[in-house]
């Protein structure tokens, strides 16, 4: 982790120790964006090519998330986890997928001549979640993160989506059906121990933003 002097000074202050226990319950939307088939690609290409490609894809995705007033919670392998808070967070989360897909599709064709064209799979869920500082006083490290069942559901939604697909929960659909068109995929179990969850699935290029 790389930080500037102001962050280092904060980590050595008493405020840092008190920040370790800061938590709050928030209502937000969580979006997982996976670069499909990238793990398989990494098995056959050199490390420098993989890092260069992944950083390029992340740069594009991050720019579009920030443009919709979201923030990046973390990078998980070849997946980006983003959070949207505040007014119209569901709408901004859903609108971000179109911007991400459009930007990814505009990238130069197969820059290394390896036959790989990036596509994304996206899962979005909204609801209450715990926002907290994940930390270690001994390591002097502090990460801001959201956790909870609704976050886990968003990750499962993304895992169930295929290339160029977006899976959204029923709660997200109810809040955004005025700006998208989607088909219901019915009910299927996402997380062991939870009731069946209604999910709306659509091919990304077929979902139409109405505003």
3-state secondary structure the chain: CCCCHHHHHHHCCHHHHHHCCCEEEEEEEEEEEEECCHHHHHCCCCHHHHHHHHHHHHHHHHHHHHHCCCEEEEEECCEEEEEEECCCHHHHHHHHHHHHHHHHHCCCCCCCCCCCCCCEEEEEEEEEEEEEEEEECCCCEEEEEEECHHHHHHHHHHHHCCCCEEEEEHHHHHHHCCCCCCEEEEEECCCCCCCCEEEEEEEHHHCCCCC
Pick 39 or 200 by higher pLDDT: 39
The domain limits of the chain are 5-206
Angle of helix 89-105 versus helix 47-67 axis, rounded to 10: 140
- Band of residue 208 on the pLDDT scale cut at 50, 70, 90: very low
Nearest to 190 by CA among 156, 167, 162: 156
Q: How far is CA 205 from the centre of its chain?
A: 19
User: Using one digit for the tens of pLDDT, what is the confidence trace for 61-105?
Assistant: 999 999 999 988 899 999 999 999 999 999 999 989 888 988 988
Decide which of 145 and 18 is more confident.
Answer: 145
Give the pLDDT confidence score for residue 178 in this predicted structure: 77
- Tell me, yes or no, if the pTM score tops 0.85: no
5-206 in CATH: which number?
3.30.70.1230
Q: 54 or 202: whose pLDDT is higher?
A: 54
Q: Give the C-alpha separation, 32 to 52, whole Å.
A: 21
Q: Looking at residue 207, what is its pLDDT?
A: 43
pLDDT (mean) for 98-114: 80
């Amino acid at each position: 982790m790389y930080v500037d002097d102001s962050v280092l000074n904060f980590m050595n202050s008493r405020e840092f120790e008190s920040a370790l226990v800061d938590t709050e319950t928030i209502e937000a939307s969580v979006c997982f964006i996976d670069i499909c088939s990238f793990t398989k690609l990494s098995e056959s290409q050199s490390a420098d090519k993989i890092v260069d490609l992944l950083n390029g894809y992340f740069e594009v995705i991050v720019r579009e998330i920030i443009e919709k007033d979201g923030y990046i919670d973390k990078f998980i392998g070849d997946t980006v986890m983003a959070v949207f808070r505040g007014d119209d967070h569901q709408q901004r989360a859903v609108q971000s997928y179109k911007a991400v897909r459009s930007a990814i599709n505009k990238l130069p064709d197969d820059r290394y001549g390896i036959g790989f064209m990036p596509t994304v799979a996206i899962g979005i869920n909204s609801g209450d979640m715990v926002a907290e500082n994940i930390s270690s006083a001994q390591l002097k490290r502090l990460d801001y993160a959201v956790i909870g069942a609704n976050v886990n559901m968003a990750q499962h939604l993304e895992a169930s989506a295929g290339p160029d697909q977006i899976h959204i929960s029923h709660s997200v659909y109810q809040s955004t059906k005025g700006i998208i068109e989607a088909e219901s995929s019915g009910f299927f179990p996402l997380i062991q121990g939870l009731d069946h969850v209604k999910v709306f699935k659509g091919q990304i290029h077929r979902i139409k933003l109405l505003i």
